[in-house]
Structure 1
Amino acid sequence: MNSFREYDGVKLARNSGTAIAPDFRGKGLGKSMMEKNSELYEKQGVHRAYLEAISTNTAAIRLYQSVGYVIIDRLLIMSNEQSLEELNVQNAASTYTLVRGQAAEVASAAFYLPGEVWQTDASNIRDGECVFVYKEEKLAGYGLFKRVFDAAGSLTAITLFRCEVAPGHPDAKEVLKRAVLEIMQPGHACKRSAFNIRASHKELVEVLTELGFNAGMEQVLMVREYNVE
């Protein structure tokens, strides 16, 4: 199952899923499928291909490595079902201004880049929203998220997908915290999660951890480069 996208002249692909029925596992079918998949990518002129695998699925990871994929990061799926007020978190007034918008608007940020984590790109989040963090009218950061409501209009879940800071900003962690608190709506009782957060984004992971989020599952992010003439 594949998806394709082109950005700045570079054609990207993502393997959205590879599955083999239990009765047919251990017969080399996985490698055959992945090799056939690579042929498809080459015909499509793909420059770079991504996929994710659950970190405990060592057999799948070995399979992907055998056909040229390498691990470039870990992806954390974090959650917190408590009210943030119960964690003594206060969204104190600051010199930052926060503005909400639709998910697609984050593409207007000069430092927005289509993510290597396919599912957290703005274009892939249906009914998504964003929050922009400004300081002195200059964009300092943004957060990308989605809210879910029940039939009665009550908020039931909030999922954070991405939270980024302008390169070189002197107070990156504070910007991240402002964005996350705005997104997570302290005081509301609902399910809160952060999906496929890159472990290498240490400041964001620290902010989420300080707000009571815990990683319940982890994936590896893998990539394979193709030589396209």
Structure 2
Amino acid sequence: MVTVKRLHEVPMKTVLEAWERGFEGYYVNMTLPMAAFINRMVNEDLQLDLSNIMLDGDRPVGINLNGIRKYPEGHVAGWNGGIGLAPEYRGKGFGKLLMEESLKAYREAGAHQATLEAFVQNVGAIKLYEKFGYVVQDKLLFLSTSEPVYFETEAGIDTTYTADLDLPIAVSRLPFYNSRTAWQTQWQSAKGGQSLIVYLGGEPVGYAVFKQNYNIQGELVSIMLYRLEVRPEHANALQVHKYLLGQVFDPGKGAVKKTVVSLEGSQKELVDMLTGLGFSKEFELVYMENELAPAPVPAAE
């Protein structure tokens, strides 16, 4: 008999088994050791009491990870951090059951909006999400290179900007910070990272949120850029982009892997700049949003 439970009701080893089975034969290798799986749960604010596991008897056959974030302006959003079914359970309506449980969890948490990402190749899953009210908003690109990159700015421009390193949360206080972006690009997802805020004449004009990863010898091995944003009314956005990228991906850091996470395809100028400098696309997702109606109130007896 197939049942659905919340993750806090089962041992973590059963949760990981459900993850492994749910993403068997997927577009990318989703296999994770236990420590990495737990780190992902923590780093992306995924919650055991809002996430679901599907069991056939005692055997884990499906999983859905969910997270909730509450923002200062009162907005509450839920994120589907992964939904998967064992191969023999796909195409039999069980995905619909997991989606129903996922949306139920968001409403329990008071979410106004639900978001998710799906690989562009996963047409069947995208159609299922659309049936539940999700709408594609943009494409998300993961771009990377392991070569040194050089960002040429206008002559003298580097002397007109100042920049401060800070914690990722610092960008949330900027008047132009946009919290309505893909989950993994938000400052909360950059745990262990830092922010770089750029000023012109004492006024903030742009920021980057990024993370540098080191091996056990203390050597820099990779840089991940989560978010880069310029004040909308700033007249020279392209130069601010170049300045920020030059600081984050300083060619002096050598041939470490440099990754841009979930860059919106609609930022065509920035995409073109990065690809022109040698960044290539690792994979592409669709970003989807669902504006949630309140849960129906049961009729009084």
Taking structure 2 as the reference length, the TM-score comes to 0.71
18, 25, 43: which one pairs with 2:108? 43
115, 118, 124: which one pairs with 1:53? 118
Deviations along 1:168-202, one digit per CA (max 9) or x if unpaired, are: 10000110110011000113121111011111122
Q: How does 1:185-204 map to 2 (within 5 A)?
A: 185-187=250-252, 188-204=254-270
Deviations along 1:30-65, one digit per CA (max 9) or x if unpaired, are: 012112322332333321100000111111111111
Secondary structure at 1:105 match in 2: helix
Question: How far apart, in 2, do the equivalents of 1:45 and 1:98 lie?
Answer: 38
Q: Contact 2:210–2:223 (CA<8 Å) still a contact in 1?
A: yes
Counterpart in the other structure of 1:224: 290
Tell me the amino acid that sits aligned with residue 67 of structure 1. F
Structure 1 gaps of 5+ residues are none
Per the TM alignment, residue 208 of structure 1 is displaced from its structure 2 partner at its CA by 1.6
Residue 86 of structure 2 corresponds to residue 26 of structure 1: no
Residue 165 of structure 2 corresponds to residue 100 of structure 1: yes
Tell me the amino acid that sits aligned with residue 2 of structure 1. N
132, 145, 161: which one pairs with 1:67? 132
Q: Contact 1:176–1:207 (CA<8 Å) still a contact in 2?
A: no
Secondary structure at 1:219 match in 2: strand
Counterpart in the other structure of 2:69: 5
Counterpart in the other structure of 1:82: 147
| Higher mean C-alpha displacement, 203-212 vs 9-18 | 203-212
Per the TM alignment, residue 18 of structure 1 is displaced from its structure 2 partner at its CA by 0.7
- Identity, % of aligned pairs? 36
200, 205, 212: which one pairs with 2:271? 205
Q: Contact 1:141–1:165 (CA<8 Å) still a contact in 2?
A: yes
Question: How far apart, in 2, do the equivalents of 1:132 and 1:194 lie?
Answer: 18
Structure 2 gaps of 5+ residues are 1-64, 296-301
Residue 176 of structure 2 corresponds to residue 111 of structure 1: yes
Q: How does 1:159-178 map to 2 (within 5 A)?
A: 159-178=224-243
Q: Contact 1:173–1:207 (CA<8 Å) still a contact in 2?
A: no
Secondary structure at 2:85 match in 1: coil
Question: How far apart, in 2, do the equivalents of 1:184 and 1:72 lie?
Answer: 28
Q: Contact 1:84–1:211 (CA<8 Å) still a contact in 2?
A: yes
195, 209, 212: which one pairs with 1:144? 209
Question: How far apart, in 1, do the equivalents of 2:131 and 2:289 lie?
Answer: 12
Taking structure 1 as the reference length, the TM-score comes to 0.92
RMSD across aligned C-alpha pairs, in angstroms? 1.7
Q: Contact 2:68–2:106 (CA<8 Å) still a contact in 1?
A: no
Secondary structure at 2:274 match in 1: helix
Q: Contact 1:106–1:122 (CA<8 Å) still a contact in 2?
A: yes
Tell me which of the two structures has the higher relative contact order, counting C-alpha pairs closer than 8 angstroms and 6 or more residues apart: 1
Secondary structure at 1:152 match in 2: coil
| Higher mean C-alpha displacement, 95-104 vs 130-139 | 95-104
How many residues are aligned here? 226
Per the TM alignment, residue 93 of structure 1 is displaced from its structure 2 partner at its CA by 4.3
